[in-house]
Amino acid sequence: MIILKNQKHVLISDNQKLSIDLQNVSANVEFQVAQKLSERLDSLNEQIFTLKQQNIEVERESYNKGKTDTLSSFANEYYVQVYPYKHNYKDEQGFYVFNKRKEFIEVGYQYQLFVKGIPVFKPHVVALETHEKNHFQLNEEAIKDMVKLMVAGSAPGAGSFMKIADTVKTAK
């Protein structure tokens, strides 16, 4: 019986040691699994971050491409034609008996909106200066330069949609 008690005590002791070893192995396995899971999670988070950055870049490139395509399409479909403009006219002053005629030159520009090459509205004339013909020497280059400066100053952002003609249009 003593032997059985000793063997029982040894078996209980071995059982406790094995139980402790099992708990240690189980804790070690749980720690290793948690560590590998954490490493894998970090790796996946980095991949997700990289994919999100790539997605943002693709969306930005797509947006910029759409914007440039739309602007070029808009520029091809809509434009404003601008012509330097001059108009000679006579102004009658006084009574019928003392009729005095003065000749004037009006200088400015005419613009018109076109959609797909078709005029949409009537042309609009903007008179910039009026001079008496006797005292004025007409310089068509100066008129063109003045019109280009006026258009650039009044609509600086619309340069790609405005086409300025090289010829001076004469009103009838």
Output the pTM of the full model.
Answer: 0.48
Burial class for 126, CB neighbours closer than 10 Å (0-12, 13-18, 19+): middle
Q: Is the pLDDT of residue 95 over 60?
A: no
So what's the pLDDT on residue 43? Answer: 95
Check residues 114 and 31 and name the one with the higher pLDDT.
31
Bridge partners of 132, per DSSP, are 104
Burial class for 111, CB neighbours closer than 10 Å (0-12, 13-18, 19+): buried
Report percent pLDDT > 70 for the chain: 80
Q: Which H or E run includes 56?
A: helix 2-77
So what's the pLDDT on residue 36? Answer: 95
